[in-house]
Amino acid sequence: MKAMIIKEFRQLRRDRRTLAMMIVMPVILLVILGYAASFDVSRIPTVLAGPSARQVAALRRPPFEVVGTVPAAQAQSQLRDGHAAVAIVTGGARPVVLIDGSQLFTARAAEQALATMPARLSVRVLYNPELKTSDIMIPGIAGVILVFIGTVITSLGVVRERQSGTLEQLAVMPLRPRDVFLGKITPYFAVAAVDLAVVLAVGVAVFGVPFRGSPAVFALGALLFVFVTLGIGVLISSVSQNQGQAIQLAIMTLLPQVLLSGLIFPLSSIVAGVRWIAYLLPLTYFNEIARGVMLRAEPLTALWQPFLYLALLGAAVMTLAMLRFRSFLAPSAAAPEPDAGPGTGPDTEPVLAGTGEPS
Amino acid sequence: MKAARAARAAGISRPSDGHPPRSAWGLSGVSVRYGHHLALDGATLRAVPGQITAVVGGDGAGKTTLLRCAAGALPPSDGQVSVPGIRQIGYLSPSGGIYPDLTVEENLSFRAAAFGLPPAQARARVAEHLDRTGLAAAHARLAGNLSGGMRKKLGVIAALLSGSALLPGPALLVLDEPTTGVDPVSRADLWWLIAQAAAGGAAVLFATTYLDEAQRAGQVLVLDAGRPLASGTAAEIVAAMPGVIRPLAARPTGQRPLAWRRAGQWRVWDPAGTPGASPALSPDLQDAVVVAALAREEARP
């Protein structure tokens, strides 16, 4: 048994990445999740609409935080476009409070806070009137599934090429790196698209999740999102030596996306020191788009921000993935040192990758 | 253009039209460094169309590194590599380059498609090869389930699927240990494939650890620890052997271990070739290679 233990420790020591993960990961996870894991809502962005704001003076206190004043007709669009979670419309017999039900925890906090108010109000929950969890979870879970296909499965498929030794063969075939790259990710792209359609169909048919917005806007968002996740997958595989390492890295990108993207914990409840991570995660933006389109029928014009960030993320990740993939395809790049001689400069890469040949 | 310039800078020259009007491909004074390790040190080799050239040497001799340079998969640190265009090179990499989760047929059609060969033409080209090497019956089997010998045959057949529709077959066929770990019958099949390719005009370059195989090649390059030990035809290498070899009845007891065991018998190398007690053996390639290695050991201070 002692021999076995020693052997195992030796192997573990060689696999630096796993070792680092075993030691560093728990600490990072604990710190991030400790600050992120909060369902508490301390701040509810509220807009006041209508002529007599004085009527609702009682509401101008925490957790409600007035972020703007608009004409009564715009109250609902303020909620739809995500500018506020609560709108208080005055001018009628009694003030009407509109609550955005697609922000589940915020909506519940608002309901609780309103219950303690002495003022006579009529409360209406929009977009998710029954405050159903499935309505807000399923659009996000569709995103998680896309991350799974895009990142985990893609990274495995590409690194398999290195492990089986077929990568070297690919490098000397008359294929351009771009062909290999696109050829690699297209099947995963197709599978992700089918998966998304199935998840949405089941969500709508079985769980009764509404789909109120434009399918085209949703599809565009999903397309951008899948693009980013596929790029991350290729990136992971290009820095992994084997499928085990690829899985570890892929899980490392999956976990924070599940926990920090606003899928489970409201973004506004995450401590600012950790919240910035959320804005680097593609799922955060997909979540905004999916919930916005499906539950609130947000138009593209109101969603330009998540679309823009997703596009920027996609461009950055894809460029990086493509560059890494080129050197990944050149088998010698890993071996000789840059100063080894005149033949190993970066300018030799096109030859190795076979770009000199028409295809 | 940029790629061509980069290729020249890397010491790889390729004809612009990709067709093989030249008499031979080859490497000249090629060295490869991996970090501080000199894997190949000044190797020179000619690969003549229609001829088989063997690269022999033990493990770590630099055979794979040399072949990777010839296949265009690795730029040399030093020296010149002259090879045809990437389309005209058929390469069997050390791992075989075969996908274990694809069938025999699927592997071959992928390779043909990657080289832009029409499927019907590719099928016609491999039909005889599959049939002759006993792979025809296994065409629908997953490559991962093939025996080691069958997988090697598949790898070689796949390597033959280079070239173009107009100019089928490789101009340069680079095979990294096609016969290692293969039973004698399969080895004969593999040799048939290799000979066919050479007869079809390909310059064949193959690495092997078996000296009896190298003896069948037109040209032989012997590598030892990255350095060329001997080169030429097998007969030339044998003829150039210094001294003589004598049989020994028992393990020698002398200071210098210039003896080795072969086929159950001891042999000793006498560098000076002094007329001695026992008659000299007529050496073959294997003896000549052993002697060359011993001579290099001797020359070391």
Note whether A48 and A169 are same-domain residues: no
The token pair at A29 is 């996870």
Query: Above 50 in pLDDT, residue A315?
Result: yes
Confidence band, pLDDT 50/70/90 cuts, at residue A331 = low
Confidence band, pLDDT 50/70/90 cuts, at residue B56 = very high
Query: Above 50 in pLDDT, residue A201?
Result: yes
pLDDT value of position A336: 36
Residue A37 lies in a domain: no
Cβ proximity of A163 and A155 under 8 Å = no
B100-150 pLDDT, tens digit per residue, is 989 999 999 999 999 988 888 888 888 888 998 889 999 999 999 999 899
Q: How far is CA A35 from CA A22, A231, A269, in A?
A: 21, 29, 9
pLDDT value of position B297: 83
Percentage of chain A surpassing pLDDT 90?
9
Of A126, A157, A183, the position where a domain reaches its end is A126
Confidence band, pLDDT 50/70/90 cuts, at residue B207 = very high
The token pair at B150 is 């069958």
A vs B, Cβ pairs < 8 A, gives 122
**Planar angle of CA A108, A205, A306, nearest 5 degrees:** 55
pLDDT value of position A55: 61
Confidence band, pLDDT 50/70/90 cuts, at residue A341 = very low
Task: Please state whether the peptide bond connecting residue A215 to the residue before it is cis, i.e. omega within 30 degrees of 0.
Answer: no
Query: Above 60 in pLDDT, residue B88?
Result: yes
Cβ proximity of B75 and A352 under 8 Å = yes
DSSP string for chain B: -HHHHHHHHTTEE--TT----SS-EEEEEEEEEETTEEEEEEEEEEE-TT-EEEEE-STTSSHHHHHHHHTTSS--SEEEEE---GGGEEEE-TT-S--TTSBHHHHHHHHHHHTT--HHHHHHHHHHHHHHTT-GGGTTSBGGGS-HHHHHHHHHHHHTS-B-SSSBS-SEEEEESTTTT--HHHHHHHHHHHHHHHHTT-EEEEEES-HHHHTTSSEEEEEETTEEEEEE-HHHHHHT--SEEEEESS---SSS--EEEETTEEEEEETT----SSPPBPP-HHHHHHHHHHHHHHH--
Cβ proximity of B105 and B36 under 8 Å = no
The burial class, CB within 10 Å (0-12 / 13-18 / 19+), for A83 is middle
Residues of A in contact with B2 (CB under 8 A): 350
Residue A260 lies in a domain: yes
Note whether A233 and A310 are same-domain residues: yes
User: Which residue range(s) make up the domain with A318?
Assistant: 133-329
- Rounded Cα gap, residues A18 and A244, in angstroms: 9
Neighbours of B17 (CB within 10 A): 8
- Rounded Cα gap, residues A251 and B200, in angstroms: 52
Which segment of A126-135, A313-322, B167-176, B236-245 scores lowest on mean pLDDT? A126-135
Confidence band, pLDDT 50/70/90 cuts, at residue B10 = low
Note whether A161 and A197 are same-domain residues: yes
The whole-chain average pLDDT of chain A stands at 78
Note whether A97 and A196 are same-domain residues: no
Mean predicted confidence (pLDDT) in A279-288: 90
Query: Above 90 in pLDDT, residue A94?
Result: no
pLDDT value of position A330: 67
What's the DSSP call for residue A64? E
Residues of B in contact with A350 (CB under 8 A): 2-3, 6
Q: Which residue from B minimizes the CA distance to A357?
A: B86
Of A79, A103, A126, the position where a domain reaches its end is A126
Give me the residue from B68, B72, B77 closest to A341, CB to CB.
Answer: B77
Note whether A75 and A140 are same-domain residues: no
The token pair at A22 is 């075993």
Note whether A315 and A180 are same-domain residues: yes
Query: Above 80 in pLDDT, residue A38?
Result: no
Residue A224 lies in a domain: yes
Beta strands of A190-311 (E only): which ranges?
Answer: none
A243-272 pLDDT, tens digit per residue, is 888 888 888 888 888 888 888 877 777 777
Note whether A173 and A272 are same-domain residues: yes
Residues of B in contact with A357 (CB under 8 A): 18, 85-87
Mean predicted confidence (pLDDT) in A279-292: 90
What strand order describes the sheet that includes B25-34? B12-13, B78-82, B25-34, B37-47
A213-246 pLDDT, tens digit per residue, is 899 999 999 999 998 999 999 888 888 888 888 8
Residue A61 lies in a domain: yes
Give me the residue from B11, B89, B116 closest to A172, CB to CB.
Answer: B89
Percentage of chain B surpassing pLDDT 90?
43
pLDDT value of position B193: 93
Give me the residue from B6, B96, B100 closest to A348, CB to CB.
Answer: B6
Note whether A63 and A185 are same-domain residues: no
The whole-chain average pLDDT of chain B stands at 86
Note whether A169 and A112 are same-domain residues: no
Which segment of A114-118, B79-83, B150-154, B288-292 scores lowest on mean pLDDT? A114-118
Residue A10 lies in a domain: no
Note whether A87 and A220 are same-domain residues: no
Query: Above 90 in pLDDT, residue B276?
Result: no
CA distance B2 to chain A (A): 8
Confidence band, pLDDT 50/70/90 cuts, at residue A103 = confident
The token pair at B7 is 């290729």
* A209 backbone φψ class: left, alpha, beta (φ>0; ψ -120 to 50): beta
pLDDT value of position B14: 57
Confidence band, pLDDT 50/70/90 cuts, at residue A82 = confident
Q: Which residue from B minimizes the CA distance to A161?
A: B99
Give me the residue from B7, B76, B93 closest to A168, CB to CB.
Answer: B93
B11-53 pLDDT, tens digit per residue, is 565 554 444 445 688 899 999 998 888 999 999 999 999 999 9
Q: Which residue from B minimizes the CA distance to A169?
A: B97
Number of domains in chain A: 2
Query: Above 60 in pLDDT, residue A78?
Result: yes
- Rounded Cα gap, residues B291 and B281, in angstroms: 13
B260: β partners:
B267
Contact check, Cβ <8 Å, B72/A172: yes
Give me the residue from B5, B34, B91 closest to A335, CB to CB.
Answer: B34
Contact check, Cβ <8 Å, A357/B86: yes
pLDDT value of position A50: 75
Strands A122-126 and A96-100, sheet pairing = parallel
**Phi, psi values for residue A52, rounded to 5°:** -110, 80
Residue A296 lies in a domain: yes
DSSP string for B208-275: ES-HHHHTTSSEEEEEETTEEEEEE-HHHHHHT--SEEEEESS---SSS--EEEETTEEEEEETT---
Query: Above 90 in pLDDT, residue A275?
Result: no
CA distance B93 to chain A (A): 6
pLDDT value of position B19: 46
Interface test with A, best of B14, B74, B91 (most A CBs within 10 A): B74
Confidence band, pLDDT 50/70/90 cuts, at residue A118 = low
Residue A352 lies in a domain: no
Residue A221 lies in a domain: yes
Note whether A116 and A183 are same-domain residues: no
Interface of A with B in 146-175 (CB under 8 A): 164-166, 168-175
Beta strands of A120-230 (E only): which ranges?
Answer: 122-126
pLDDT value of position B277: 60
Is the model more confident about B242 or about A355?
B242
pLDDT value of position A53: 61
Mean predicted confidence (pLDDT) in B152-180: 91
B61-82 pLDDT, tens digit per residue, is 899 999 999 998 888 999 999 9
* Spatial CA neighbour of A238 closest among A144, A126, A160, A173: A160
Of A126, A160, A187, the position where a domain reaches its end is A126
Note whether A115 and A188 are same-domain residues: no
Residues of B in contact with A165 (CB under 8 A): 93-97
Confidence band, pLDDT 50/70/90 cuts, at residue A351 = very low
